Chain A
Amino acid sequence: MVEVVELLQNAGLGLVLLAVLVFGVVPGLVLRMLVLIYPKDDPRRRDLLADLYDAPFLERPLFVGAQFETVLFEGVPHRLRTLKRRGARPPAEPETIRPVPEPLPALPTRQPVPPRECALPGCTNIVTEPRRLYCSPAHRTAARKMRHAARMDLL
């Protein structure tokens, strides 16, 4: 404690603070920023920081200065390689030969509608058209009139 007080008296507070910054805080801070150039999963990030604290206190600023070269020659190429890999398109899937689909089952053929008689009571004409109930438009009109008359009777 006495030594610290003496140091403060002799060197001045500003100089001591500067020494603390240069040898204590700045090396770690600068190196932490430098190693960010390495890709996230690169073990060199942790490695360099651990080696910083292995170096003697007074050598740390020089150690950090030397790491500029390491980062330039190792970190930057690693980062560029990672970026290139990320930017590259995924490899194209090999062209597969689609299997020929099996032929669909044949649609059931329309069964021919059997010929039937005209729906007008009393008419025995055969209706040839499959979707018609009456043999002629006159019989259709006649059947409609009969239905109408029947409804009127009910009322």
Chain B
Amino acid sequence: MRRTARLAEVAAALLEEPYGRHWGYKLMRSSGVRAGVLYPMLTRMLEEGWVTDGWEDRAQIAEKRPPRRYYELTDLGRRELAAAVRTAQIAETARPAIPRPEWA
């Protein structure tokens, strides 16, 4: 899986709760990544074994809505995503600062 800036953003959102359940819409909001990028990325994470998925128990839903699909990080996923976040942080700090022009 390619280590992109979007992946780092999703990884950071997932690692806020490394042992919790994550929902598609909430993840979209917390990471700030578009749905068109996030959902295919979640599918790839599932294929790589970084996350597992499941469905909410219908009996435990108080509101009138269909059960949502949740994603949970696996050990492999926690390691890989933490590495992706670290790589993004290193790339961010290593980026040379743009020199301020004299007239500014």
Contacts and interface: CB of A to CB of B under 8 A. Distances in A.
A73 B6 CA distance: 16
Contacts of B37: 69
Contacts of A66: 34-36
A80 to B, nearest CB: 14
B39 A44 contact: yes
Interface in B30-67: 34-37, 39-40, 43, 53, 55-56, 65-67
Main secondary structure of the interface of A (DSSP, over half): helix
B69 interface: yes
A67 B35 contact: yes
Interface residues of A, number: 20
A66 to B, nearest CB: 4
12 contacts: A43-B53, A44-B39, A46-B69, A47-B39, A47-B69, A50-B69, A51-B25, A69-B34, A70-B35, A70-B36, A74-B39, A74-B40
Given A44-B43, A69-B35, 19 more contacts: A43-B69, A47-B39, A47-B69, A50-B56, A50-B66, A50-B67, A51-B25, A51-B68, A53-B66, A54-B68, A55-B25, A63-B35, A66-B34, A67-B35, A69-B34, A70-B36, A72-B36, A74-B36, A74-B39
